[in-house]
Amino acid sequence: MDILNEISLFLQTSVQMGTHILFAIVGGIICERVGNMNLGIEGMMLMGAAVGFSTACATENPLLAVLAAGAAGMIGALIYAVITVSFRGNQVVTGLVLTIFGTGVAGFIGKSVSGNIIPQSVSEAFAPYSIPVLSDIPIIGKALFDQSFYVQLAIIVAVLAYFYMKKTKWGLNMRSVGENPAAADASGINVTLYKYVHILAGGFLCGMGGAYLSVVFLTTWQDNVTAGAGWIAVALIIFSTWNPLKAILAAYLFGMLKGLNFKMQGWGIQIPSQFLEMLPYVATVVVLIFITLRKKKEHQPPKSLGNPYFREER
Partner 1 sequence: MSEPYIMLKDICKSFGSVKANNNISIDVNKGEILALLGENGSGKSTLVNMLSGIYTPDSGSIYIDGKPVSFRSPKDAISAGIGMVHQHFKLIDVFTAAENIVMGQQKNVITRTKKMEEKITELNEKYGLSIVPGKKVYDMSVSEKQSVEIMKILYCGADVLILDEPTAVLTPQEIDALFDILRKMKSKGCSIIIITHKMAEVLSISDRVTVLRKGESIATVKTSETTPQQLTEMMVGSAVSLEIERPKAELSEKPLLSVKNLLLKNSDNVPVINNMSFDVYGGEILGVAGIAGSGQKELCEIIAGLQKATGGDITFDGSSILGLSPHAILKKGISMSFIPEDRLGMGLVAGMSITDNVILKSYNRNPGPFLDRKFAKSLAQQIVHDFDISTPSVNHEVKKLSGGNIQKVLLGREIWLNPRVLITAYPVRGLDIGASYNIYHILNEQKKKGVAVLFIGEDLDVLKSISDRLMVIHNGEIVDTVDPETVTKEDIGLMMLGHSREEGDAV
Binding-site ranges for partner 1 (CB under 8 A): 167-170, 172-173, 175-176, 179-180, 182-190, 293, 295, 297-298, 300, 303, 311-312, 314
138-169: burial string, b at 16+ Cβ within 10 Å, e else: eeebbbbbbbbebbbbbbebbeebbeebeeee
Residue 89 C-beta: closest distance to partner 1, Å:
18
Report the nearest approach of partner 1 to the CB of residue 44 (Å).
28
User: Which lies closer to partner 1 via its Cβ, residue 175 or residue 195?
Assistant: 175
Q: Which residues of 59-73 are buried (b: 16+ CB within 10 A; e: fewer)?
A: eebbeebbbbbbbbb
* 88 versus 111: smaller Cβ distance to partner 1: 88
Burial class (CB in 10 A: 0-12, 13-18, 19+), 137: middle
Q: For partner 1, which is the closer residue by CB, 89 or 119?
A: 89
Q: How far is the CB of 248 from partner 1 (least distance, A)?
A: 22
The distance of closest approach from Cβ of residue 237 to partner 1 in the complex, given in angstroms and rounded to an integer, is: 17
Nearer to partner 1, 2 or 298 (CB): 298
Q: How many alpha carbons fall within 13 Å on the CB side of residue 44? A: 41
Q: Give the SS3 label for residue 25.
A: helix
Cβ–Cβ under 8 Å, residues 34 and 178: yes
CB of 242 to partner 1, least distance (A): 11
Considering beta carbons, is residue 125 or 201 the nearer one to partner 1?
Answer: 201
